[in-house]
Structure 1
């Protein structure tokens, strides 16, 4: 090297050192912080992809879980490591001081998920009995760019690669072919030529609605009481204590005999021997209605014996789902107190579970009266006169199933009306909504916990350009939706043992 060049390099080197020293003296904390962030970035995106952490001088197995009991591990050179490296390089352009740690975790998580999908698809093909033919794999390998020379396969270039690397590459190509077949089978289903146009035409008619709501909870207390009085046995009030023995009927009888003989008190036996949730309370069950004992004592005759016991008496040992039990009556059975609102609430709850049809029939009658009034005085006037709950929603296309396509296809859920949540896939709802004449109240229909009356207010026909836009993007939408569904299926599968967070925090978070 010429002396002048050496002097120039020395001058530049001294100049660089001087600049670093000047920056350090000017603001040492910022300077050090910048260097630390630089080190974090280097470790996250250069060092970590190239090494596996070590513990006690031995390599640590970066195992993030398993799929179908196949380990999901980071090993230099394997699929996980390749994906981690590729994703890390892509994210490098987005790194800054504030997001290095977050992006590092995102890189590893995405690599993990891609590896799960890789293993899952290969397992699906394996279980289907598919193996890529050797001739097909050989042909694909021969077409790889690294083996091409003057547009043709080069044997010389192929032999420059060592045998182990060639075998690994061959297996990678074989797996890639299997995965591609799986994706073609699952996501490559042909879309009928008219389907996009049909879906687009679904948005052509758009309607806005008024809606009258008759909730199940509006069923009046008077009707609840009338029902309770018509079925007095169901709602008798009893106060019981209980001891449950799950070993054998014989042992349950022995415990009952010891209590009757005075060897143990009922409360002592409950705390020491009972195998139910009442043991800590000395067997105290509290007040129950007769119908609430159905699950405790399934046999109706045995249940009646328990309910009818006199105060202080013990029932015989009876069969219960968890073993055998006997009861002590704390008070005499008594009829329902209809003044107690808590009792009425219990009867209402029973009716919602076992007599729902009775409630719906009553609400249908109220809705029919409303419909008649709306036909005479108008929808809004009838709402005000009868004090009915009202909702307005729309404009909305006939979107059965809640198809969501950007801003092109409005969904029922986007209306943010709780009473409509169960209606998205209710065929009767959509039929009534779009075939009831405009400005005419519909027939009543049950949706979830409400009886509804729809009132179509307006209808517009969209321009052809809007429906054609949906037709244009429909195939892309279907493919994207299929891919999302596929990822969700595998990433939420019971066959996946996801230990990503634990492994990342133990071995990789410390690098940051």
Structure 2
């Protein structure tokens, strides 16, 4: 089935904030890494541009560190040319596709793409540190696909015939006036301008012909009908979750009393920087009175709390200890007094300073909010401890539900049954079809409905209760509902399937080219050692 159609971390629980708000059902992670804006969506030339998932490697991290050093003085579009030299004698080779080099040289496709992306990022407001890397990487990705497709076009004997080029020039809009091609505008254009337009069009035509052909391949009516039928058939469900919230307060309190240190609370602020030397310098400026912790956080911190002058708020000890590379160092937080600034400490990829706004205090183990946080901690960090209890409870509730109904179980336990709208059997996660990420508002069935469980959900007799299903640290009591037919979805997909299929064909084609054995990728190494090593 086809599928159609963005740091350093400070990890704690969503339940760590103990300002009186009820915590969520499960512990989550918060990040205080360097804020990264989403990549800018660029407008302009129609291209097939692959954006593969990038692995975060040591080399990538080192590269970004270098970018930070140069970003202060880097000016985007105007500096690109000076940065690598207007006429680099032999060009810069970033890789190969088959026998063709992926080369940056003045006036070629790669060069034009760099200029294009630089101009667009210049006005985007994107942080320059991010923009410099993204400009070159986006231009490189475009050039890889462009080179691969042109190689295929050459093998297929596709050429840019003169009459086709002439029509393309007329239709390009380069010489339009009032929305139409204007002979006088064309005649007044300089010879160099005309040559550049023709070169660009002649170079791009074989590429565009292949891309258009791939995108306009029609699917068979039988295929469209098959997909439309699958997408229109759905089944409803209802369920109750047996999770950590049903774990007895007495047992949660007992666990907390045996592990008091984990649930001490404190109010903290934080500063995160790249190196130990930076952290030491910032620490000394604070302790000497040259600056305040709050001002230093705004000026230096890379985490997401910098905008709040470093203030994180009230936390449980367990929620912050994971931010220490050496967990024993976190113990210093428990003995710190109000107003103390302590550190630097090595974290996971950064160095941190803490200000203790209010000293650590022991929690009230009879308090509902504290007990909810204890249960959330157990679900994430010690689920085996509560599993036996939840498993037995789920079996007991299932027996009651089979005899009295799921609604009766919910009523007895002050819970609400989650109703899930009609959902097709989308085992391949095809975006031609809906799935539980759209129909399940509580968001649990997406994790549960895999493999044999999904098969059972769609093959069981309607209106029956399945045996308890384990999902993470919880269990589901799932009732299979009725099968339905969505005629509107069937009609919609039948009408637009060729359009979606063509778009997916182009994406699949690009992915195949980018993952081909013919592709030799040396972008990062070349970018760091050659591009950033060039002198003006």
Higher alpha-carbon Rg: 1
The structure, 1 or 2, with the larger RCO (C-alpha pairs under 8 Å, 6+ apart) is 2
The TM-score bracket by the shorter chain reads 0.3 to 0.5
Could you say which structure has the higher helix fraction? Answer: 1
The TM-score normalised by the length of structure 1 is 0.48
